[in-house]
Structure 1
Amino acid sequence: MKHSAVRLAIATVAIGTLAMTTACGSGGGDADADGVTTVQFWQNQFSNEDNAWFKKAVQDFNAAQNDVKVVLTVVPGDAWEQKLKAAQAAGKAPDMYTMNYSAVPMNARNAQLAPITDHISEEGWKDLDERFLDAVTVDGEQYAYPIYYEPSALLFYRTDLYEAAGLDPAAPPKTWDELIDAGLKLKATDDKTVPFQIAQNAVELSWTTWGAQFGTAGHLPISEDWSEEEATDAKYEPLFQFYQDLYGKGILAKQALSGYGDASPLGQGKLASMASGSWAISLLLADYPQMIDKLAVAPMPTVDGDPSRTTSTLGGWTIGVDAKSKNVEAAASAISWMLAEGTSVPKAYFTGTKFTKLSPRNSLAEELAADPNRTVNPFYDVLLESTKTAILEPTYDWQVSLAMGTALEKAMRGGDIAQAQAEAGATITKVIGDLGLADQQG
């Protein structure tokens, strides 16, 4: 899930809050003289609130029993991939680590993850929403346990600026044409505030548009069996035209004020509206509380206003165990204790992040929805509603997504749409052949 990776880059947590440990992991295995098994756990660097939960959950797990000691290492997002690959190559990978949903199936098929099905109770698996159980299941085995999920695309807008532009804040845009019309009106009445911001570079367009791609064409740019490209489908043309119009009509800044994962410009009053994921709510509540009363959040508009069309993906994070770990059972016991048993430990994550994320566990989701404290997030109901039409993130190779994102950026900046689609299709066809994607899916 790339949007969470972007959020990592803007997290402000000091890495010094937890020791950085590199020389351990799958090289362990035996308990020490006191019978304690040490498990190395690498966690992506998230927000302050996220990191605080991980730190406390590990501390509480270690204090709750005497058999397993978890050592937590926080790794910055920009160093994660290189650091993990180096550790795996050296035989020093951590026993367990965080990963997004889309990484689980491929890592499982590549024998990089250990199955943990039998190390977590049947009740723990049955409690998962079927969508997220499927996301961590490959060939009948589970390879990770979900922490949370969140929608990748919501519409944030300033109600005061909407009113000043003659727009009804209670009736946000429902179609792309209405969004463009709103942007033009905002631009006409306020030349100091950027009307709208959305992903504007190839990498961000590659993952932020998964939902819109599916919602517009009814499929993603590769066939379900990963054997053929479908980026050249004419049904995608309105999506390309939408981005071209946003940019060409000056509704977007020539250069985005921030990455898609960073809602700071909205909190700072530099934007009238923006598209971003639910993590933006966390940032706004934490860093810009004075702006909350001026903001509204709505589902992203669709090509024709049909609310049943997909606009978003359901991203989020899980914890899995490395395939070469000698401590699979011990690591899985920690995962189970933190996420899959009672609700008090995982619930602390959702209260700590101010109800801005959603639980994949049915029992906990019901508990959170009934908690009166959820009003700390005034947009909770919109957040929940927006997930009903969302799809899980695709698990095909990133190069497929990047081909589509590159084509969208080219069209956005004025390039020929048909040519951009053709180039995406050709690239995806090559990737299918080079990587044998059809064989992987089969």
Structure 2
Amino acid sequence: MSTMNKRRLGGIGAGAAAAVMVLTACSGTPDGGAAAAGGEDAPDGATTIQFWQTQYTDEENAWYEDIVESFNESQDDVHVRLTVVPGDAWEQRMTAAQAAGNAPDLYTANYGNIPDAARTGQLHPLGDLISADAWSDLQENVHGMVTVDGDEYAYPLLVEPSSVLYYRTDLFDQAGLDGPPSTWDELEEYAEALTTDSVFGLRLAQNANDLGWSTWGYQYNVAGHLPISDDWSEPAATDEYAPLLQAFQDMFEAGSLPPADGLGYPDAAPFGDGKYAMMANGSWAASQLLADYPELVENVAVAPMPTFDGGTGQTTATLGGWSLVVDGRSENAEAAASFIEWALAGDVENVLPFFEATAYSKVSPRESVAQAISETPEVAEVNPFNEVIQEEVVPYAEPEPVYPYAISLAMGEAIEAAMQGTPVEEALAEANRKIQTEIDNNDLAGTGPGA
């Protein structure tokens, strides 16, 4: 497996975790996971904690391994054993383990799954197991993403915006374009102007799964809401979404938005390989470009995705990311929480290497860590895209939605259908039909956060 292939999908948030098959491990244990750290014998009398980690990039995996080893060396009371689980095997393995009553004590979780898992007893509350100082260090909006009915059920490691516009300044100059587009109408015009025999104007998500989650920010921007009512009682894929679907249809028809290239939305390789003049991707794409395409970086700039009305300071992305949780049936919840506090909520120096290793392409939800990163002089040199993303995208991003992914997929399928020629009105009507079916089949009405 190449370095690039192992790196490319590591920064995906909840939507991508639900929609994209993440890379399999290069080697593994007999049960399908890859033992990474903490496999040595535990000290006498120590409580052993089983920790499952979703497989990420090489750099992130190394940080998890190091933090587990450091924690185990720091004391003799709790011993953590880490297992790395391939993303495409995660759901099957976790479901089977929970059904058999032998789920790991501790595991990685994305924000979108936390509310439902908390309310159904799959997660252990952490509010009283982690210090008040640790909770107060979290940025308020991210604290809300891990709080359900007044208690905390996860401690976050990172957040990352789902949509940032990366563009080739050299190709813009050649086309006589000055700066990034500010509206979707301009985005369409720029994409067409930048399209040549060898370069496509724009790369967006290209299939229904990726469209389902990568467009959440655009959905907020064009309609001011998501395609289901706040109390989840009725579909809301209204005509307000028509400009978004029409834009995909128009650019696809013009040839500036090409047919699928077979790679998922989170992969920046097609842009890095020079096949596109603009690319929408998450903040995580910066680390791939910096690592795999350093010669290209001087000709790349970033901006918030354009808005439909041309205004600034609006939502164009959602915030996803990863946290640590304790299983609701763990018999060692207090010990597992002690590792979470030490690794994620304790000494800033424990966490800083994670952000350094990922080229500062992710955002710390801890105010103390964010402050330390801001005072690190080499950040701008390491990641020249960081300042724009931190100041112009992250502050306006909404948390990713927590409704069942089938709702998002219905919208993704509608956008894909419109892109391929289905009349926009028909595509939205079909999305509403599918969302209503999901509401009915799963008794969602009245269970939403706005109920």
Query: Shorter-chain-normalised TM-score: which range?
Result: over 0.9
**Residue from 396, 406, 411 that aligns with 1:399:** 406
Aligned to 2:441: 434
What SS is found at the alignment partner of 2:255? Answer: coil
Shift in Å at residue 133 of structure 1?
0.8
Aligned twin of 1:27: none
Candidates 158, 162, 168, aligned match of 1:158: 168
Structure 1 residue 34: Cα displacement: 1.7
Which residue of 170, 181, 206 maps to 2:189?
A: 181
| AA at the equivalent of 1:417 | V
Question: Is this contact kept in 2: 1:13–1:46, CA < 8 A?
Answer: no
Report the alpha carbon displacement of residue 20 of structure 1 after superposing the two structures with TM. 6.6
Give the deviation of 1:6 after TM superposition. 8.2
Contact 1:116 1:143 in 2 (8 A): yes
TM-superposition CA deviations, 1:217-264 (whole Å, max 9, x none) = 111101111111111x22111111111111111111122352101001
Larger CA deviation: 175-184 vs 256-265 = 256-265
Letter of the 2:205 partner, please give it.
A
Q: Which residue of 2 aligns with 1:304?
A: 309
Instruction: Report if the CA contact (8 A) 1:21-1:73 is conserved.
Output: no
The residue type equivalent to 2:174 in the other structure is: A
Q: How many residues of Structure 1 are paired with residues of Structure 2 in the alignment?
A: 428
Aligned-residue offset at 1:179: 1.0
For the residues of structure 1 that align with 2:99 and 2:55, how far apart are their CA atoms? 22
Q: Does 1:80 align with 2:90?
A: yes
What is the letter of the counterpart of residue 276 of structure 2? L
* 2:371 match: secondary structure: helix
Once the two structures are TM-superposed, the CA of residue 297 in structure 1 deviates from its matched residue by: 1.0
**Change over 3 Å in CA distance of 1:175–1:381 after alignment to 2:** same
Which deviates further from its counterpart, 97-106 or 3-12? 3-12
One of 323, 326, 329 as aligned partner of 1:321? 326
What are the Cα deviations for residues 255-313 of structure 1, in whole angstroms up to 9, with x where unaligned? 23521010011111122211100111011111111111111111101112111331100
Matched ranges for 1:269-418 at <5 A: 269-375=274-380, 376-385=382-391, 386-418=393-425
Change in Cα spacing, 1:174 to 1:226, as seen in structure 2 (3 Å) is same
- Which whole-Å CA distance do the structure 2 matches of 1:434 and 1:127 have between them? 40
Q: CA deviation at 1:95?
A: 0.6
SS in 2 for 1:438: coil
Shift of 1:180: 1.1
Pairing 1:268–2:273 present:
yes
Q: Which residue of 1 aligns with 2:200?
A: 194
Structure 2 unaligned blocks of 5 or more = 1-12, 34-40
CA contact (8 A) 2:319 2:394 kept: yes
8 Å contact kept, 2:20–2:209 = no
The answer to whether 1:58 aligns with 2:89 is no
Contact 1:13 1:47 in 2 (8 A): no
Find the partner of 1:47 among 44, 50, 57.
Answer: 57
Cα deviation code 1:179-225 (max 9, x no counterpart): 111111111xx311122110121111110111111111111101111
Task: Tell me, in whole angstroms, the C-alpha distance in 2 between the residues paired with 1:276 and 1:257.
Answer: 16
Q: Which runs of 5+ in 1 are unaligned?
A: 24-30
Gap change, CA 1:369 and 1:7, over 3 Å in 2 = farther
Residue 17 of structure 2 corresponds to: 5
Compared with structure 1, are the counterparts of its residues 73 and 158 closer, same or farther at alpha carbon in structure 2 (3 Å cutoff)? Answer: same
Equivalences for 1:13-24 in 2 at 5 Å? 14-16=26-28
Query: Structure 1: how far apart are the matches of 2:43 and 2:373?
Result: 42
- Tell me the distance in 1 between the aligned counterparts of 2:134 and 2:169: 42
CA-CA distance at 1:349 after TM superposition: 0.8
Instruction: Sort the Cα spacing of 1:11 and 1:377 in 2 relative to 1 into closer, same or farther, 3 A.
Output: farther
Distance in structure 1 (CA, Å) of the matches to 2:378 and 2:20: 26
Code of the residue aligned with 1:378 in structure 2: it is P
TM-score by length of 2: 0.91
Answering whether residue 228 of structure 2 is matched by residue 222 of structure 1, we say yes
1:238 aligned residue:
243
Distance in 2 separating the partners of 1:149 and 1:304: 27
Q: Distance in 1 between matches of 2:230 and 2:121?
A: 23
Percent of pairs identical after alignment? 49
Return closer, same or farther for 1:148/1:207 CA change in 2, 3 Å cut-off: same
Instruction: Report if aligned partners of 2:22, 2:86 keep a CA contact under 8 Å in 1.
Output: no
CA distance in structure 2 between the partners assigned to 1:198 and 1:439 by the alignment: 34
| Structure 2 counterpart of 1:212 | 218
Q: In structure 2, what residue type is equivalent to 1:198? A: L
2:247 maps to a residue whose letter is F
| Residues in 1 aligned to 2:191 and 2:43: alpha-carbon distance in whole angstroms | 67
Q: Is the 8 A contact 1:136 1:142 kept in 2?
A: yes
Please tell me whether the aligned partners of residues 207 and 260 of structure 2 are also in contact (alpha carbons under 8 angstroms): no
> CA offsets, 1:325-359, max 9 Å, x none?
11101111001100111211011111111111110
Label 1:65 to 1:342 Cα distance change in 2 as closer, same or farther (>3 A). Answer: same
Name the CA distance, whole Å, in 2 between partners of 1:130 and 1:354. Answer: 25
State how far apart, in whole Å, the 1-side matches of 2:303 and 2:112 are. 26
Aligned to 1:172: 180
CA distance in 1 between partners of 2:133 and 2:240 (Å): 43
Q: Distance in 2 between the 1:133 and 1:336 partners?
A: 15
Any idea what SS the aligned residue of 2:188 has?
helix
- Do the aligned partners of 1:15 and 1:74 also contact (CA within 8 Å) in 2? no
Which amino acid is 1:44 matched to? T
Separation (CA, whole Å) in 1 of partners of 2:171 and 2:42: 63
2:132 aligns to what? 122
Supply the AA of the counterpart residue of 1:164: Q
Q: Does 1:106 align with 2:116?
A: yes
Tell me the SS of whatever aligns to 1:119: coil
Q: 1:33 to 1:179 in 2, by over 3 A?
A: closer
